[in-house]
């Protein structure tokens, strides 16, 4: 271990926020180069490679074929798919010496579609599934939490091409199984949730999430029927009963300086549930007004998905003032000529309050369709803990998690945009039906630490531990200990074990602390009990020490080690 490049840190760097970040840094696995950009040191690299290999094996097993696509991608392809603007600010863009635009690939749908388009011409060649494990670049608004949200990261991305939806469904299921298998091999606790497809596009989507306090995916789940969905996707299917309240006369009232729902509610003495929130969004095709009951939260992801425009964003106060002549806070649906999309919660509301479309005024007793027309009705409501499960009606529960895998049924979005067609049985040209499947490889490293650690450091599962065994020579001044340590080390190496020998001339405590921080699953202490012919074996997460005799050779030791490895399961410590 003296030779190993593992610069461990006793003190916590000041800018870490999460345990995985702290321990990976302190344990000498990674070092930061810039915000969201890291170097992997030998231990980090080893873990990364192990995760990669698990993912690779499971991909190969379902017939996906590994390829490698370029990181640098010409803008032209992205303009053709329409995502140069949609993905826009998140892309790391650059120009070559001739001034041509390029991007460091945030994902590879464009490249792969372009590739297959030129090579695959017949339904006979389908389905085709390819994948790669490569660096991805996303200029995140705010990189955070070390490897969990980096700007340069390693992802496995797979793409499938089909001649029929049935074939896509089959492959989609294969990926679902493969991803579950990866989770199982990592030995982590995980859940599969229904998800929104976001900027990738497409219809059906699932996320593979591991629960964690610092997770950024909010998961809603039902104890009773097993429904699980991300908060971006979770549907609201509750009832909005009609009332027999009579429609009163529309009235414009002065509301000086009263802008927020809360202020309006207090000022007019009306509950938030009788106010309709009007939000102006700006997208590719101009303005969209979204309407929802005042006591509910609008789910932007649902709105984007509904209008099929990922570039949609809330209009700025300046834009609203300029284009509508009204400060935000007073905008409303009456007398405004924009596309209006309303949440179902607005449907049977009677005599509600909306903005007056004039500074310092609101309308009271508004009613639709009498006073304004809603163009489309849909579900825009953010589902929260306690809302009814859309499947069985039981109140939902909420938790947070880290998204490791995300699979999508894309359909023909990219193939149509990129003009990628094949010829079917009847000799007709048809666009490929596609699926895409991502797995955050570098994020997995951090997520596993997030799930398995204690106050002393990381606790690696055997499957991805940088080394499985550390042999600690407690007192290197003791000739006998040193000799036995080396003997055991060499014997383990010969048996193909991934092992390191810690014979550094530092105090025993120092070596124990390092071993715990790094999280070797099994520690072998060659210490004072060697006098009586024993060495000790210890699982990282357990206090128990097993003494085995090495007086008559190492066979007893090997047996004990195998037994410990069989039993080893960091999930034991999760309770």
CB of 532 to RNA, least distance (A): 10
Name every residue whose Cβ is closer than 8 Å to that of residue 430 and which is 6 or more positions away in sequence. Answer: 163, 421, 422, 423, 424
Structure tokens that stand for 51 in this block = 């995760």
Please state the closest distance from residue 132 (CB atom) to RNA, in A. Answer: 13
C-beta of 503: minimal distance to RNA in Å? 11
Answer for the pair 409, 176: CB distance below 8 angstroms, yes or no: no
Tokens representing residue 60 in the block: 């190969």
Which one, 86 or 358, has the nearer CB to RNA?
Answer: 86
Q: Shortest approach of RNA to residue 297 CB, angstroms? A: 10
Please give the Cα distance from 209 to 196 (Å, whole number): 14
- Cα–Cα dist 314/540, whole Å: 50
Contact 298, 292 (CB under 8 A): yes
Q: How far is the CB of 425 from RNA (least distance, A)?
A: 33
Nearest Cα to Cα of residue 434 among 112, 140, 183: 112
CB contact at 8 A, 537 and 523: yes
306 or 510: whose CB is closer to RNA? 510
Total residues belonging to the chain: 575
Q: Name which of 35 and 493 has its Cβ closer to RNA.
A: 35
Taking the least distance from each CB to RNA, the nearer of 118 and 455 is 455
| Nearer to RNA among residue 208 and residue 372 (C-beta) | 208
Distance CA 98, CA 100 (A): 6
Which letter does DSSP use for residue 429 in this model? E
SS3 477: coil
> How many CB atoms sit inside 10 A of residue 455's CB?
6
Closer to RNA by CB, 58 or 207: give it. 207
Contact predicate 81/414, CB 8 Å: yes
- Min dist. Cβ of residue 152 to RNA (A): 9
Residues 261 and 275 sit within 8 Å (Cβ to Cβ):
yes
Element (H, E) at 159: strand 152-162
In whole angstroms, the minimum distance from the beta carbon of 253 to RNA comes to 31
Residue among 206 and 362 whose Cβ is closer to RNA: 206
Nearer to RNA, 141 or 566 (CB): 141
CB of 293 to RNA, least distance (A): 20
Cis amide linkage into residue 325, ω under 30° from 0: no
């Amino acid at each position: 271990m003296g030779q190993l490049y593992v610069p461990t840190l006793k003190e916590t760097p000041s800018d870490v926020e999460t345990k995985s970040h702290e321990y990976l840094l302190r344990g000498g696995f990674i070092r930061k180069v810039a915000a969201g950009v890291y170097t992997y040191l030998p231990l980090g690299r080893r873990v990364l490679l192990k995760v990669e290999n698990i993912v690779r094996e499971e991909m190969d097993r379902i017939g996906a074929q590994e390829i490698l696509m370029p990181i640098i991608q010409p803008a032209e392809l992205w303009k053709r798919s329409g995502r140069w603007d949609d993905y826009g600010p998140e892309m790391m863009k650059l120009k070559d010496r001739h001034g041509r635009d390029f991007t460091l690939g945030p994902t590879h749908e464009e490249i792969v579609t372009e590739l297959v388009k030129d090579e695959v011409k017949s339904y006979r060649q389908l389905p085709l599934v390819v994948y790669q494990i490569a660096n991805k670049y996303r200029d995140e608004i705010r990189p955070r939490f070390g490897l969990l949200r980096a700007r340069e990261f390693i992802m496995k991305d797979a793409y499938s091409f089909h001649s029929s939806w049935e074939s896509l469904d089959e492959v989609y299921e294969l990926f679902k199984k493969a991803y579950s298998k990866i989770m199982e091999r990592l030995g982590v606790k995980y859940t599969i949730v229904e998800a929104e497809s976001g900027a990738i596009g497409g219809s059906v989507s699932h996320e593979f999430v591991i629960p964690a306090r610092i997770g950024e995916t909010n998961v809603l789940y039902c104890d009773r029927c097993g429904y699980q969905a991300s908060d971006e996707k979770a549907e609201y299917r509750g009832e909005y009963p009609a009332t027999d309240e009579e429609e009163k006369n529309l009235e414009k009232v002065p509301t000086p300086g009263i802008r927020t729902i809360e202020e309006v509610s207090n000022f007019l003495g009306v509950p938030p549930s009788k106010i309709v929130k009007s939000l102006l969004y700006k997208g590719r095709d101009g303005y969209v007004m979204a309407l929802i009951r005042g006591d509910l939260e609008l789910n932007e992801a649902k709105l984007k998905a509904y209008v099929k425009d990922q570039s949609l964003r809330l209009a700025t106060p300046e834009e609203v003032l300029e284009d509508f002549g009204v400060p935000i806070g007073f905008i409303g649906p009456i007398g405004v000529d924009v596309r209006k999309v309303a949440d179902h919660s607005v449907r049977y509301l009677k005599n509600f309050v909306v903005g007056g479309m004039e500074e310092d005024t609101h309308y009271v007793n508004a009613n639709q369709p009498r006073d304004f027309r809603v163009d489309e009705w849909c579900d825009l409501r953010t589902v929260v803990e306690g809302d009814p499960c859309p499947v069985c009606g039981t109140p939902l529960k909420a938790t947070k998690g880290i998204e490791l895998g995300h699979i999508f049924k894309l359909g023909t979005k990219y193939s149509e945009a990129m003009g990628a067609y094949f010829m079917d049985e009847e000799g007709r040209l048809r666009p490929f039906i596609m699926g895409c499947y991502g797995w955050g490889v570098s994020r997995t490293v951090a997520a596993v630490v997030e799930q398995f650690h204690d106050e002393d450091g990381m606790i690696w599962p055997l499957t991805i531990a940088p080394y499985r065994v550390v042999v600690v020579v407690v007192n290197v001044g003791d000739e006998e200990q040193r000799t036995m340590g080396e003997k055991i080390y060499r014997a383990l190496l010969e048996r193909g074990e991934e092992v390191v020998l810690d014979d550094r001339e530092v105090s025993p405590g120092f070596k124990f602390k390092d071993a715990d921080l790094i999280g070797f699953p099994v520690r072998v202490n060659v210490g004072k009990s060697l006098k009586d012919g024993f060495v000790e074996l210890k699982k990282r997460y357990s206090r128990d020490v097993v003494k085995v005799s090495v007086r008559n050779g190492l066979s007893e030791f090997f047996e004990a080690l195998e037994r410990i490895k069989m039993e080893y399961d960091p999930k034991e410590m999760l309770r």
